[in-house]
Structure 1
Amino acid sequence: MGVFSLLNPGLQGALVKQGFIAPTQPQVETIPAVLSKEHVLLIAPTGSGKTESAVLPVFDSIMQKKEEERRGISVLYITPLRALNRDMLSRLEWWENELDIRVAVRHGDTTAYERQKQSLKPPDFLVTTPETLQVMLTGKRLRENLRTVSHVIIDEVHELASSKRGAQLSIALERLVEVCGEFQRIGLSATVGRPQEIARFLAGTNRIARVIEVSLIKQLDFNVVCPGPTPEDMQSSKKLMCTPDVASHIRVIADIAGKHKSTLIFVNTREAAEMLGSRFRMLNIPIGVHHGSLSREARIEAESNFKRGILSGLICTSSMELGIDIGDVDHVIQYMSPREVTRLIQRVGRAGHWVGEISSGTIITTSADDAAESSAITRRAKAGEIETVDIHENSTDTLANQICGLALDLSEIQLKRAYSIVKRAYPYRNLKIELLSGVIKQLNDNRLIRFENDTISRKKKTWQYFYENLSMIPDEKRFEIFDIVSGRTIGALDEAFVVNFAKAGAVFIAKGEMWRVIEMIGEKSRIKVEPISDPQGEIPNWVGEEIPVPYEVAQEVGVIRKRILEKIISGNSTEKIIEDYRENYPADSEAATGILELIRNQVKANRTVPTDDIVVIEQDEKTIVINICGGHKVNETLGRVVTSLLAARFGASVAMEIDPYRIKLELPKMFGAYRVKELLLETSPDYIEPIIEMMLKNTILLKWKMVHVARKFGALSRDIDYDRISMRKLLDVFEHTPMYDEAVREIFHNKLDIEGAKTVLGKIHSGSIKLVIQPPSPIGEAGFLGGRELMAPERADSSIIMALKNRIMEDRVILFCVNCKKWKSSKMVKSVPETPECPLCSSRLIAALKPWEEEEIKIVKKPEKEKTEEEKKRTMRVYRNANLVLSQGKTAAIALASRGIGPETASRVIRKMREDEEEFYRDILIAERNYAKTKRFWDG
């Protein structure tokens, strides 16, 4: 039995009954280390016996104890998902009965009866979440039950380490040490870069965890494909209301799923999951949808139907990367580039879910960039070049939360003791006492704690605050979707989608099905819906999901371009270039050909190819594209620096869009590309951080973050109306506080790469990255199309255009006379006169406002001297609106009634109405979709 012989005889007998003949490699290496009381981080693939590697020696420890020693909890098994808790309980129940070990699960859904039972007679082995541990540490009886903890196992520790939940857990573990003394720490992780960093996170500042890393025994088998549309796809695209390209992707997914028993189809966003799911439903193909915004019941049903074979495929997002038990998976499809090496390994690793089995995966790509990016990621996966986990260092809202936790744990605590406890947590190892004091002062000012004579003590309000903020996941208002036909909750919608889109009669997609809004109940945050059949449903825009492409991956795409260019210049044949490419990358001929053709078109156009060491700036009138292989975060950072500097020069905002290979700028007036080049050469890398911080002060992103952080600090109530808070007030109240600093720190951590941008700018200055200026090129124009908008065809079908027109005509606008300021009238767009006129003063200076813009009328009516600067700007916007209606009549009202379209965008699309009505509505469609994707963050 090998290492199994080290275990308790009763446990060995149970192993034989369960069919454990020989230990797996992770078990061989881990069981002796755990038995010898070492802190251990085990990194091993899914399906390699990883869980048993930790659980078996811990069971052994419990069985060694006498019954009177088992009065409290011995083992905490912490997982990041409740779904994993369900899985663990079902896996442990057999062992519980066989070994007479008490096992239980405790999380937010645990019944009051079950909780009371656990409190009175605690289990030996408790499966729980980081948030529930917070509750247990502060509860009198539960805290007593924790005094006997000897082992803590953290599952999917890499997932927690990269988030604020992990920072919170790291301090909670040190609070647990204060209760039960030192305990053994065991972490289970997927493959990560720099595993020693995760081991330090697990162990804490002054402890050492041994890293046991078992290489992928299972061979990973990847294939990158780029399907093109067939004549049949052209036909089916009309039925499916999508592009022919997307129709070809749906066909290929269906073909692959049809050849396998069970296929997981990973997508990068919930929107993509809903888009694909709705199309398979239209085709009556048994492929389900699973993501975090569906109800718990809907997710469990999808998992169960997949496990039982009722569904042959399951479209899912990142939550399914974790070890949720859904039975055997024999193939994984990744729809579009997985963006990161770690994601590809975890996702494809779900296939061949047993020891020694090959894990096979197909990446379906949608463009040349997508294919090159996927190729780079597959090569890096094979070579073990994996991204590192980026830990949140000194997160102050997390710290505020845990200071209140310590106050509740101990009633009162000296500042120095609190400091020493927090510094034992690895993310806070470099914490300065001044920062801790600043956070405590803020909590004292917010009346959440009392701080006198260097002593922190709890108040009545501490309890309420702490229990409202058990989770470090941002508080976002969620609207429950309730199906009136089945009487079931089917999921939830984000506040941003509801505010911008959902109203009675609106149609949207969730769970791959079409729903019509019947009624919205604001006070209950519930939306009543009915199922319908309508392929033109809107897909909810779940925010903050986009996985950023790392700098290193984007750079390799630049290297791929450079190598293919060299072969073209050397006169290699197409066949030879594709053959060479496929020797280095697991891509099919179509994928390789797509990349080659894009570069060949660039050469034919006599344009420079942007690579890892060449940045190309292109100009087309007021549009400038900076082609730079920098990845999302570096490009976002450099783009923000450039737009800030340009906006300062123009005195007007500059629109920006980025992808991993381009920064696209829309300028308010002509500005030579050579001047953008000069800007890059003149700007010192040291200026990047201060420029970004100044720029952030005018963004909705900082406002959004500051509201979330202030809620976590208890400075704002959880249910405060976000839209009613002005940015100026937030800055006045919070600037120069730990809350403001935390909001900026988190944006820098999550969305930007200051150090990476400094490095790139430094290379530009030194000449190791060359800057080239040229006219528009095929590569420059290829960006921003690679699957960003999956629903609407690039050239929308006439039926979609007609549906859009009908919807706008049924919408309402408020006509308001800005001349006399006395007349207003609400009308359906179809009823607006060709030339609107005020019946009171006969003026034609009439603004066409959206129904929710009533506030603008009040602002316009205010005396000029009483208006703030912001209100003056809003007044000017209403006058621009009215001038557009004065010159263009009803056409302007149609454009202005569209979602997210203001006077500036409306004036751009309006001239097409007289040239081609269909083109006019096509432009509105594009503008609406762009608005839906970008509204929430970077608008000023």
Structure 2
Amino acid sequence: MVQRGPQGGALGDNRGRGEQPAGLRRGPPGQAGHHNREEGDGGPRVGPRGRGPRGRGPRGHKVGGPRGRARREGKRDSRGERGPRRNGRAAGEPGHGVARHGRRRRQGRDGEDSPGGLEALRRARRALPHLDEVDLSGAFELLHPRIRELLALRGISGPTPPQSDAIPAVASGANVLIVAPTGSGKTEAALLPVLDAILRLRPEPVSALYVTPLRALNRDLVERISWWASQLGLSVAVRHGDTPADERRRQARSPPDLLITTPETLQVLLVADVMRRHLSRVRWVMVDEIQELAEDKRGSQLAVILERLARLSGEYQRIGLSATLGSPEAAGAFLVGPGRSCSVVVSRPPKPYEIRVAFPGPGGDGEAQSLGLHPAALARLRVLLAEARSNSPVLIFTNTRSEAEVLISRIRLLDPDFRAEVHHSSISLERRLSAESGLKRGDLDAVICTSSLELGIDVGTVNAVIHYGSPRQVTKLVQRVGRSGHSLGRVSRGLIIAVDEDDALEAAVIARRATAGLLEDLVIPHAPRDVLVQQVAGILLEDRVIKVADLLALLRRSYPYRDLSEADLSEALDFMSGLRPPLARYSQADGAAYVPASARRLLEYHFETLTMIPEEPKYVVIREDGSPIGVLDEEFVAGYVSIGVKFVLAGRPWVVKQVLEGTVVVEESDDPLGAIPSWVGEEIPVPLEVAREVGALRRRIAESGPRVLVEEYGMSQEDAERAAAHVLEQVRRGLPLPTESRITVERWEDYSIVHTHMGLKANRTLARLLAHALSRASGEDYVVYQDPYRIYIRGNATTRMVVEALRSLASSDIESEARAAFEDSWLFLRKLVHAARKMGVVSAKSALSGADVRRLRDAMRDTLVGREAWRSLAEEDLDLGAVSRLLLAVSEGSVEVADLGELEEPTPVARVGLERAMVRGEVVDRARMRRLVLSSARARLGSPVVLACMDCLDYVERSRLSDVGGDLSCPVCGSRRIAVLDADEDDVRALLNGLLERGRAPRDLEQLHRRALSTSALVEKHGYAGAVASLFRLPRSAADRVLSQSKWGDMDQLLLALAEEERNHLVREMALRSRPRRA
């Protein structure tokens, strides 16, 4: 049950400040199990749970009196203070691990000093004349005096509105969801009352968990949270898949008070004996960025993990945090599960947003041609750079990784002095951290990024956000623009630069809906079966044997599985038992599930499937002569690639000749029309509501002209006229206009184009349904492609055939038709392979050929795996409901269908989509491509690098190779062993100091050391040319091979050769890295 308190406040009991919240009493932790697997954790448990004779009461509460609590917490004296701990660190023992700070000493409620800790704060208090100005009339009054002193030390004079609402709710012990803007202090609103309770109650560690969706958030949070904890004498640690073994051992020996982790790592810790015992003491769990988890299978995984934790530790307090949520009540229900209450604190204080949409027109063609750019692209770049310079530092968001890479290369081409770096998931961690720190220090004017910087990673002060192209969704825009003006009272400024007419109208709609607070609803997966199998496997590792009734009750306490039936669970257990080797032994007679006779396969499966993020192999694209062109994501190949399909890659259109195992063979095409951009698989789907408002906006423009864009959507007159021109031209030519209540169908050349304002998911569904219906009627095959506003059907279908197919679908069973239409599609087969891997049918390490996948489809179509694949496809990628409603409206006449027939030229609205399909892929001729590559390579010479001498270790300088003479040598010792590094200057100095003082590189700089040795060897052998080669992402052997081919007197030829070798190397590397091994 989700409750909303008055003005966002909490509902529930207001307990005394020293009293433990109800439901948090503990019994003794479980006994240790066996099988040490993860070093330092005691390994996974495959044995009895060992609760002891006291057992549990209903809903995870342990049965027993205060004795269990006394065993854990120690006896308390007359003041309520606890005596010495029995199995924790001794008082005053130093904290440990890189994530911990300060010393820990147990102090009483009266604020006894720890050595150097509180006394230092008291000295600070005496030195701070503004300490008495801290507002203690509201939420801060509830906090421990030491926390209030730290607030003063941080210069915080009073709570923000979200803190005023949320801190009392959290302090009351209620489950709380906090929804508040970025920069409003919501992290402290959740954290400070928890730290307050730890100070007052002194529970054994681990007493609090902070769960985040991204490791990058962990990096920031550990710095932020550790400051508070270290000042309070508490310990904090971070734990994820990359945590070193020695740190894991330290955490097992001496657990932290608060552990920051991810859902996947928490799942590992639940089956690791030692850490499991520590987790049995958890009293508080905070889940950050809950909207990022709730909408996919990682959220379903976390929901069950939290119930497994509650079964181990007893009921604990749950606190969720989010900056952007369209349906907070659903998120609150997801956080706590059915049967528990949650106070939803929605605090949206006056956080002003200023969001503009620009649609610049093309400038002079001569200048654009000289730069090798499309005139419209040049105009957009000039607007972007002007905005970025006037608001530096800025974040520049794109929707795909490819767009980010294209954009930064163009910026460097146009303005080599503009300090910008790129940040997305495909680049190395070192480069991402360098971009983050560079922006924070003020060394960069901008970082061009994708969703990798959408969440709360700390990049310092950002004055504005620029979005290149429509953000596609309202929630995305609010989340991204919220990164600017990162505090209450500051304006969050955003500029969307539209790339075409569709983009301009879509961006205007999204900006209006963002300022009106019309966010998309949260869509939570319903009982995914692959997560179910994975979680049952984890529970069996914990228990060895469990009654089906108990297992069902546990699963139903999680929100995604609240409606799980006993028959559904029995089907999953039957499935696990039927695998060879089995993942479970299921006895219907006993009504119980058991660990199989050999637990080895169960252990392997559990650790193979820790993450629900699909592993996406890469496909290498090659010409028929075997030469490489680039790499495609499996998602793109699955959804779009088949023989005859045309797509754009590396600036050229290609036609698919063969699809082999891990390889796509193509030939070049001279005709870009209909070519699909190779990053379309990364597209963020435009929602139905946005697409329908775009349709309504086209109708209103036809009725009243562009002034509606100016008066209601805030566009400039000039940009509004450009955005409206295609609509007004269609009206002027007397052609029916597609709107939210009118579908138009036209044919031009080989394409029938169906104009529907239904969004990407609905159009994807309808496109495949139409192709299936047309194929059934004519016996021919059709290729379909869609965007949020149109469906393109390539083939011999006339507009009349398309309209008849559309009307015939109105009387069909849409779900059955859709299953038949999609069952042979790669989109469905991809889901099937993912489900089969996550459910133990196919090893995560095995490679599957096309024939293997088809055999898998035939075997699994009507099994639990096939049903999960269809559920996942239907819920995540399609919109059957929207299509059904549209077809019903067509049959009833409330939506008109206009048949325009075959046209000599496409309608203006169709032309927008067709031009996007051609231009958006950036198809360029060879001469223009050579100019682009050369200009981008030249721009690297002007990028700042760090030069360091690897002989004397006494020379470090930040410079540009364009400013350095031809003779590179050390000004201190004269050596030519000069390293050329794209790294932080402080890191390079730390490396040289380590080499000087200890004769070896610091552990965290070993990779930088290897790069320094490699580049210095190139410079020593090849001089300035070696330094130039160091700017390219090449292994030393490859760079040496290029440099040894000639003396390279022509710098342009050298740059082109290095750029070509870098591209080929990256293609080979990605192919090798992504290709799974055969089992």
Deviation at 1:378, TM superposition (A): 1.2
Gaps spanning 5+ residues in structure 2: where? 1-135, 621-629, 642-647, 652-660, 663-674, 934-1073, 1075-1079
Distance, in Å, in 2 between the alignment partners of 1:82 and 1:414 is 36
Structure 2 SS opposite 1:334: strand
Deviation at 1:237, TM superposition (A): 4.7
- 1:335 is matched with which residue: 468, 490, 500? 468
How far, CA to CA, are the matches of 1:298 and 1:622 in structure 2? 45
Deviations 1:605-660 (A, max 9, x none): 22011111011111225421111111111111111111001011222210111111
* Aligned mate of 1:397, from 527, 530, 537: 530
Q: Deviations over 1:454-482 (max 9, x none)?
A: 322222211111011110001224699xx
Task: Note the alpha carbon deviations across 1:543-586, whole angstroms, 9 max, x for none.
Answer: 7421111111111111111111112xxxxxxxxx4444311002
* Partner Cα separation in structure 2 for residue 737 and residue 117 of structure 1: 45
Q: In the alignment, which residue of structure 2 is the partner of 1:549? A: 686
User: In structure 1, what is the Cα distance between the partners aligned to 2:820 and 2:756?
Assistant: 24
The one-letter code of the counterpart of 1:623 is Y
Aligned to 1:845: none
**Counterpart mapping for 1:515-594 below 5 A:** 541=678, 544-567=681-704, 577-594=705-722
The corresponding residue for 2:367 is: 235
**Structure 2 counterpart of 1:641, one-letter code:** L
Q: 1:627 to 1:709 in 2, by over 3 A?
A: same
What's the counterpart of residue 357 of structure 1?
A: 490
C-alpha distance in 2, partners of 1:691/1:648?
11
| Amino acid of the structure 2 residue aligned with 1:372 | L
Distance 2:206 2:267 in 1: 15
Shift in alpha-carbon separation, 1:497–1:412, aligned structure 2, 3 A: same
- CA contact under 8 A between 2:388 and 2:445: conserved in structure 1? yes
1:245 corresponds in structure 2 to 376
Q: CA deviation at 1:291?
A: 0.7
Counterpart in the other structure of 1:894: none
Distance 1:653 1:540 in 2: 22
Offset, 1:154: 0.2
- CA 787–405 in structure 1, closer or farther in 2 if over 3 Å, else same: same
SS at match of 2:793: strand
Do the aligned partners of residues 331 and 548 (structure 1) sit closer, same or farther apart at CA in structure 2, a change above 3 Å counting? same
Is 1:184 paired with 2:317? yes
- Find the aligned partners of 2:222 and 2:631 in 1 and give their Cα distance: 27
The corresponding residue for 2:787 is 659
Select 1:756's aligned residue among 874, 882, 889.
Answer: 882
The Cα shift of 1:798 comes to 4.9
Q: SS at the partner of 1:782?
A: helix
Alpha-carbon distance between aligned partners in 2 of 1:390 and 1:237, rounded to the nearest angstrom: 46
Q: Give the Cα–Cα distance (whole angstroms) in 1 for the partners of residues 857 and 850 of structure 2.
A: 14
Matching residue of 1:619: 747
1:216 Cα deviation after fit: 4.7
1:296-343 Cα offsets, whole Å, 9 max, x none, are: 111111111111122101111112111100000000001111111111
Give the corresponding residue for 1:454.
Answer: 591
Question: In the alignment, does 2:388 pair up with 1:257?
Answer: yes
Q: Distance in 1 between the 2:878 and 2:922 partners?
A: 30
1:783 aligned residue? 913
Residue 280 of structure 2 aligns to a residue whose secondary structure is helix
In structure 2, relative to structure 1, the CA distance for the partners of 1:431 and 1:686 (3 Å cut) is: farther
- Map of 1:648 onto structure 2: 776
State the shift of 1:497 in Å: 9.1
Q: Report the AA paired with residue 42 of structure 1.
A: I
Q: 1:727: Cα distance to partner?
A: 4.1
Structure 1 gaps of 5+ residues are 481-490, 501-506, 511-522, 526-537, 568-576, 805-935
Native 8 Å contact 1:397 1:742 kept in 2? yes
Aligned counterparts of 2:332 and 2:259: Cα–Cα separation in 1: 23
- Offset, 1:723: 2.4
Rounded to whole Å, the distance in 1 between the matches of 2:207 and 2:279 is 8
Between the aligned partners of 2:842 and 2:930, the Cα distance in structure 1 is 44
Provide closer, same or farther for how the CA distance between residues 49 and 648 of structure 1 changes in structure 2, counting only shifts above 3 A.
Answer: same
Asked whether the 8 Å contact 1:271–1:539 carries over to 2, the reply is no
The superposition leaves residues 34-54 of structure 1 with CA deviations (integer Å, 9 ceiling, x where unpaired) of 111111111011100010000
Contact 2:774–2:801 at 8 Å: present in 1 too? no
Partner of 1:280: 411
Q: CA deviation at 1:188?
A: 0.3
CA contact (8 A) 2:785 2:793 kept: yes
Say which SS state the counterpart of residue 626 (structure 1) adopts: strand
- Counterpart position of 2:817: 691
Relative to structure 1, the CA distance from residue 580 to residue 103 in structure 2 (aligned partners, 3 Å threshold; closer, same or farther) is same
CA 1:216 to 1:631, structure 2 compared with 1: closer, same or farther past 3 Å? farther
1:508 to partner: Cα distance: 9.7
CA distance in 2, matches of 1:210, 1:150: 18
Q: Determine the C-alpha separation between the residues in 1 that align with 2:528 and 2:871.
A: 8
Residue 179 of structure 2, aligned match among 37, 43, 48: 43
The alpha carbon displacement at 1:228 in A equals 1.5
Contact 1:509 1:540 in 2 (8 A): no
Distance 2:928 2:147 in 1: 67
Contact 2:832/2:857 (8 A) holds in 1 = no
Say whether the 8 Å CA contact 1:226–1:588 is kept in structure 2. Answer: no
Q: Mark the CA change 1:224 to 1:799 in structure 2 (over 3 Å): closer, same or farther.
A: closer
Residues 825-840 of structure 1 aligned to structure 2 (within 5 Å): none
Q: CA deviation at 1:781?
A: 2.2
Give the 3 Å change call, closer, same or farther, for CA 509–609 of structure 1 in structure 2. Answer: closer
Are 2:635 and 2:830, in contact at CA under 8 Å, matched by a contact in 1? no
Find the partner of 2:804 among 678, 701, 718.
678
Seen in structure 2, the aligned counterparts of structure 1 residues 789 and 185 have a Cα distance that, compared at 3 Å, is farther
Assess, with a 3 A threshold, how the Cα gap between structure 1 residues 543 and 376 changes in structure 2: closer, same or farther.
closer
Matched, 1:638 2:766: yes
* Separation of aligned partners in 2, 1:262 and 1:339: 24
Aligned to 1:469: 609
**Contact 2:677–2:921, Cα closer than 8 Å, also in 1:** no
Paired residues for 1:816-855 under 5 Å: none
Q: Is the 8 A contact 2:463 2:485 kept in 1?
A: yes
Quote how far apart the aligned CAs of 1:604 are: 2.2
Aligned-partner Cα distance in 2 for 1:48–1:197: 22
Whether the 8 Å contact between 1:628 and 1:662 is mirrored in structure 2 is yes
TM-score norm. by structure 2 comes to: 0.67
Indicate if the aligned counterparts of 1:268 and 1:317 stay in contact, CA closer than 8 A.
Answer: yes
Name the counterpart of 2:431.
298
| Cα distance change on mapping 1:801 and 1:278 into 2, 3 Å | closer
> Runs of at least 4 residues of structure 1 off by over 6 A?
495-500, 507-510, 801-804
Query: What SS is found at the alignment partner of 1:607?
Result: coil
Letter in 2 for 1:615: I
The residue type paired with residue 555 of structure 1 is R
* Alpha-carbon distance in structure 2 between the residues aligned to 1:55 and 1:508: 47
In the superposition, relative to structure 1, how do residues 448 and 242 fare at CA in structure 2: closer, same or farther (>3 Å)? farther
Q: Deviations over 1:79-107 (max 9, x none)?
A: 00001000001112221221001111111
- Within 2, Cα distance between the matches of 1:274 and 1:112? 36
Please give the per-residue CA displacement for 1:405-454, whole angstroms capped at 9, x wherever unaligned.
10011121111111111111101111122121111111112212222333
Distance change (3 Å), C-alpha of 1:462 and 1:166: same
Aligned to 1:266: 397
Q: For residues 496 and 603 of structure 1, what CA distance do their matches in structure 2 show? A: 39
Give 2:183's aligned amino acid: G
Partner Cα separation in structure 2 for residue 802 and residue 303 of structure 1: 31
Flag the 1:647–1:56 CA change in 2: closer, same or farther, 3 A: same
